[in-house]
Structure 1
Amino acid sequence: MPQGPFVAPDPSLSWSASAAPGTAPDAARPYVALGEPEGYDERGRGRALGVRVRPRTAAAAVCAVLGLGLIGGAVTGSWLTGDSGEGGAAGTFATAGGLWHNVPVDRLFPPTVEGGGAGPGGADRTWTRVAVAPDSGCANAFDPLLRKALTPVGCARLLRATYTDSTQSYVTTVGLLFTKADAPAMSSLAARFRNEGLARRTDLMPRPYAAKGTVAAAFGDKQRASWTISVLTEAPVVVYAVSGWADGRTVDSPQPAADAMRSGATTAPAQAGLGNEAQGLADRVERGLRRTVGSATDTEKPS
């Protein structure tokens, strides 16, 4: 999605102000000292100049020095590249979990989302936000079976917004469920969704967010046509989207986005491109989330 200059959002559309950018850490080049040069005695045998050192001891000392130099270089390299290994991953995971209360709504759900090549046949899409739901818990946001499937990771906060396409023919709700889980629990849930095909079950569809006075006013449970659910493993977040027609028509056979986007699919949601609406918007909101996590993580690095 194209990025323009950052403009501070209206306070009424923001959960809080974003943090000021920080500075990247600096590191000095490691200094490696080598041993004394080796000379020769009257018989042509090698010896250290000015000092008598046994050959095995000298070899061990040189290896130790070189080993320390390699280790120091590797550590310095990791600092310069910002790669902090498991500790960095844990920091990123924790940072992502707190985004719901310290990042403006316009960063997570932009007023306009460009979807280059996101439509059927690679057509471009543009989505306009028509409503943002107040941040809330998950009590009434999911059907009972989906709520049960998500129970192992808990619900810290749920953020939702509803968009329409440029023709106002379709409406799509995209959601970010911030969980209470740690990384292993998110990985376990992701594996379960993948192995059991939970994201494709019609009884586990997310619910839409309908807002009065908008094109999505009639977007209810019976209007759900296509959907996608993605359980992230590097952040305590579940990203989902559900789409339907803006005219309020009911859908007898909803279809997961992955199936509706397949070549040759002939269902009504597939022919209308509603799988592309759900998947395309979810993908771009997820990408924006990843960028925001990266920026927040860089800001929190010590200077």
Structure 2
Amino acid sequence: MNAVSGAGAWSPRSPAHPAGSPPDAAHSWSAAPAARPVVTFAEPETSGERTPGRLGPRTAAAAACLVLGLGLIGGAVTGSWLTGDGGDHASVNAYTAAGTLWHSVPVDELFPPTVQGTGAGPGGADRTWTRIAVAPDSGCAHAFDPLLGKVLAPVGCRRLLRATYTDATQSHVTTVGLLFTEADPAAMSALAARFRTEHLDRRADLMPRPYAAPGTAAAAFGDRQRASWTVSVLTDAPVVAYAVSGWADGRTVDTPQPAADAVGSGATTAPAQAGLGNEAQGLADRIERRLRKTVGTASEKPA
């Protein structure tokens, strides 16, 4: 196992609900101004002589156009401020709204009972996933392998939501998770850059753990059964989304493969041939899309 440096040990913090106001059960997972520009115009020359204090027709026209242009620009900016259409402001609103979804949105909205995966299977085949278990919302203690926990530690852990799905044949099981972090956009961008440049999402020693629920098709879905996985660090929301897949019969996997490689043309590993890369990638993509759609709705201003 290669060592991965991290910014301190994993130290999850789970915020409590405000005293005296428990969450609605229907929504519960656990039951110096800038200086003004100065514009000057040159004095026109007439027959080789300078005429103080007068502007020629062309210069006057140019001046008028410039003043008009500045006025239009200023008006547009002012209009943006007044209507709340500023891009940065909207982004901040969406980012902030995303961080509250773990306790303000019903389970079924983030992890629906059934997910349709049109064209998500090998060769563009359709997939249908059925939710078979939802983990109680929790902190991150023991939720990740120690090394992955160390890598994620810089962004903190506000809450972790997980659900496990099976395919239509109940041959495969896939756990999808949404880690709501305590990080600001800069910290999420830094983590995303690290995953990208160091290819951390392809390291088998940084696989997420599955959620195995007793009495379901995922009862035997443990760490040794992990076959394929994907991890996505969002930069427009304080969320790390992931999915990990395996066989429902409990068989162990000696050489798991990241979904990005397993879905590639010519992949011949057992997880690739079984379509487990497609299971992890397809389900993770659709849950992430639902999250973004929910963020957009939550951040909309009332009319």
Which TM class, normalised by the smaller chain length?
0.7 to 0.9
Structure 1 pair 212–190 and aligned structure 2 pair: CA distance change class (3 A): same
Residue 138 of structure 2 aligns to a residue whose secondary structure is coil
In 1, the alpha carbon distance for the partners of 2:69 and 2:261 equals 57
Give the letter aligned to residue 74 of structure 2: I
1:15 aligns with 2:28: yes
Say if 1:113 and 1:127, in contact at 8 Å, map to a contact too.
Answer: yes
Distance 2:131 2:293 in 1: 20
Paired residue type of 2:76 = G
Q: Provide the residue aligned with 1:190 in structure 2.
A: 192
Matches within 5 A, 1:174-253: 174-253=176-255
Q: Give how far 1:55 is off.
A: 4.6
1:73 is displaced (CA, Å) by 3.4
Q: Does 1:91 align with 2:93?
A: yes
| Counterpart in the other structure of 2:125 | 123
**Aligned alpha-carbon RMSD (Å):** 2.2
SS in structure 2 at match of 1:175: strand
**Count of residue correspondences:** 254
Pick from 110, 116, 125: which aligns with 1:108? 110
Question: In structure 2, how many angstroms separate the alpha carbons of the residues matched to 1:205 and 1:186?
Answer: 19
Q: Normalising by structure 2, report the TM-score.
A: 0.78
Name the amino acid aligned to 1:70.
I
1:294 to 289, 293, 296: 296
- 1:88-110 CA-to-partner distances (Å, cap 9, x unmatched) read 11111111111111011111001
Give CA-to-partner distance per residue, 1:140-198, whole Å, 9 cap, x none.
Answer: 10000000000010000000000000000000000000000000000000000011111
Name stretches of at least 5 consecutive residues in structure 2 with no aligned partner: 1-23, 30-52
Structure 1 residue 149 corresponds to structure 2 residue 151:
yes
Q: 2 CA distance for matches of 1:290 and 1:231?
A: 13
Distance 2:218 2:26 in 1: 19
The residue type equivalent to 1:200 in the other structure is: R
Letter in structure 2 aligned against 1:288: R
Q: Is 1:13–1:106's contact at 8 Å kept on the other side of the alignment?
A: no
Deviations 1:190-233 (A, max 9, x none): 00001111111111000000101111111110110000000001
- From the superposition, tell whether residues 149 and 170 of structure 1 become closer, same or farther in structure 2 (CA, over 3 Å): same
Tell me the distance in 1 between the aligned counterparts of 2:279 and 2:27: 26
Quick check: 2:134–2:162 contact (8 Å CA) kept in 1?
A: yes
Going from structure 1 to structure 2, the CA distance change for 1:136 and 1:55 (only over 3 Å counts) comes to same
* 1:167 counterpart residue number: 169
- 1:13, 1:144 → 2: CA distance? 33
For residues 291 and 146 of structure 2, the distance between their equivalents in structure 1, rounded to whole angstroms, comes to 27
State the alpha-carbon separation in 1 of the partners of residues 28 and 185 from structure 2.
25
Question: Structure 1 residues 114 and 64, CA, compared in 2 at 3 Å: closer, same or farther?
Answer: same
Q: CA 1:75–1:285 in structure 2 vs 1: closer, same or farther (change >3 Å)?
A: farther
**Cα distance in 2, alignment partners of residues 75 and 253 from structure 1:** 59
Three-state SS of the structure 2 residue aligned to 1:216 is coil
Counterpart of 1:274 in structure 2 is 276
Conservation of the 8 A alpha-carbon contact between 2:130 and 2:167: yes
Can you give the 5+ residue segments of structure 1 that lack an aligned partner in the other structure? 1-10, 17-52
CA distance in 2, matches of 1:115, 1:54: 73
Q: CA deviation at 1:262?
A: 1.1
The aligned residue for residue 39 of structure 2 is none
The secondary structure found in structure 2 opposite 1:184 is: helix
1:71 deviates by 2.8
Question: How many angstroms apart in 1 are the aligned matches of 2:69 and 2:186?
Answer: 38
CA shift, 1:12, in A, is: 5.7
Contact 1:14 1:106 in 2 (8 A): no
Q: Summarize the Cα distance change of 1:74–1:231 in structure 2 as closer, same or farther, 3 Å threshold.
A: same
Secondary structure of residue in 2 paired with 1:93: helix
Q: Give the secondary structure class of the aligned counterpart of 1:252.
A: coil
- Which range moved further: 70-79 or 285-294? 70-79
**1:61 Cα offset (Å):** 6.4
1:43-62 equivalences under 5 Å are 55=55
Aligned residues of 2:98 and 2:295 also touching (Cα < 8 A) = yes
1:223/1:245 contact within 8 Å kept? yes
Q: 1:288 to 1:69 in 2, by over 3 A?
A: same
Q: Counterpart in 2 of 1:73?
A: 76
